[in-house]
């Protein structure tokens, strides 16, 4: 009888809480991006941010310097120029 009651907190700690933590980190990453940052989209496109609008980001993609507009929510990871030049 007590097994279902004990299973709910375990389920929360194992599955729900880590997902909420990752979501919060991703939101913080999106709010801290700025022009010049190197980004990778969820589709695997890598580029440098040229401008940021409300929910759209314009990135420049090598080698032909093509400008692409992508949704801000499509950004999967960010590498600032400071860390990119330090490596």
Residue 78, class by beta-carbon neighbours within 10 Å (0-12 exposed, 13-18 middle, 19+ buried)? middle
More confidently predicted of 79 and 64 = 64
Residue 42 corresponds to which tokens in the numbers above?
A: 């969820």
| pLDDT beyond 80 at 83 | no
Q: What integer pLDDT is reported at residue 84 of this predicted model?
A: 46
Q: How does the average pLDDT of the chain come out, rounded?
A: 88
Other C-beta atoms within 10 Å of 40: how many? Answer: 16
pLDDT at position 29 = 93
Share of the chain above pLDDT 90, in %: 68
Mean pLDDT of 28-45: 93
pTM of the predicted model as reported, rounded to 2 decimal places: 0.71
Task: For residue 16, count other CB atoms closer than 10 A to its CB.
Answer: 10
Q: Report the alpha-carbon distance of residue 48 to residue 70 in Å, rounded.
A: 12
Predicted confidence at residue 82, as pLDDT, reads 56
């Amino acid at each position: 009888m007590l097994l279902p009651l004990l299973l709910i907190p375990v389920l929360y700690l194992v599955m729900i809480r880590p997902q909420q933590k990752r979501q919060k980190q991703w939101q913080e990453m999106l709010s801290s991006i700025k022009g010049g940052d190197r980004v990778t989209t969820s589709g695997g496109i890598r580029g440098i941010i040229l401008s940021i609008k409300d929910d759209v980001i314009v990135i420049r993609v090598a080698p032909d310097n093509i400008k692409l507009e992508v949704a801000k929510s499509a950004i999967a990871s960010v590498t600032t120029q400071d860390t990119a030049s330090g490596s």
